[in-house]
Amino acid sequence: MEAHARYFGGQLEAEVLLGRSAFAPRAEGPTADRGERGRGGPPPGGFGGGRRGGGPGSGGTERGGGPPRTRPDGESAPNLHASNAPPVLFRLRLTNHEAAPLEVEITEFNSALGNFVVLPRKLEVPAGGSAEVDPMTSRLGLSADEVPLTLAIRSPRGTEKQVLTLRPRTSPAPAPTPASPSVVPTVP
């Protein structure tokens, strides 16, 4: 599943990928500064990367049962717990379409699959380049065809908040194959 959004008048593009794999490399230019910092590839231990959202104990009681939770404002809170479904990864890549580097802070990354702390929280997106944050794992299981995600980003231009809808990737239609010429046998 994936979603795309433009922030700050098109200066910054946010790409969110939800699945069990990483982003494909960009065809043009360097892809983020991930390789330069030695953070390429999955984190040690596979999908790990720490517990930044989801999982047992992230809300309510273990494996159901017990009274419903309430938030400090008195509203009921969801009773979340781990699922038997395989874990899924959120990946966030930011691309700067301007000629100057841009320092940003991710202030909100919330969905039905968990509310996540994005690490690193602040990052510099190079001019004309991309940067990624650490992958975020949800163990709540994916059971919907669409996943709304609230993403808020702060930059020197202000804070912008959008709700993105992650949807299954659509594969581009295969290129048409050239028609083979018809050969009509001739009889002498």
Model confidence pLDDT, tens digit, residues 6-49: 999 999 999 999 987 555 555 554 444 443 333 444 444 443 33
Band (pLDDT 50/70/90 cuts) for residue 83 is low
**CATH assignment of the domain containing 130:** 2.60.40
Measure the CA–CA gap between 79 and 74, rounded to whole angstroms: 15
Domain residue limits at 138: 2-57+85-166
Q: What is the pLDDT of residues 110-125, one digit of tens each?
A: 999 999 999 999 999 9
Cβ–Cβ < 8 Å for 159, 153 = yes
pLDDT of 55 > 50? The answer is no
Does 140 fall in a domain?
yes
Mean pLDDT of 87-110: 96
34 DSSP assignment: T
Name the more confident of 19 and 94: 94
Q: Are 103 and 122 in contact (CB under 8 A)?
A: yes
Vertex 71 angle, CA 67 and 77, to 5°: 60
> Torsion over CA of 7, 129, 111 and 39, rounded to 10 degrees?
-160
**Does residue 131 register a pLDDT over 50?**
yes
Kindly give, in sequence order, each residue whose CB lies less than 8 Å from that of residue 14, ignoring residues fewer than 6 positions away.
4, 5, 6, 7, 92, 93, 94, 151, 153, 164
Instruction: Calculate mean pLDDT across residues 178-185.
Output: 48
Asked if 20 and 1 touch (Cβ cutoff 8 Å), the reply is no
Buried b (16+ CB within 10 A) or exposed e, 41-73: eeeeeeeebeebbbbeebbbeeeeeeeeeeeee
Residue 65: inside a domain, yes or no?
no
Establish if 78 belongs to a structural domain.
no
Q: What is the mean pLDDT of the chain?
A: 74
User: Is residue 102, in this structure, part of any structural domain at all?
Assistant: yes
Q: What is the pLDDT of residue 43?
A: 43
Assigned domain for 68 exists: no
Report how many domains make up the chain: 1
The first and second tokens of residue 159, run together, are 């804070």
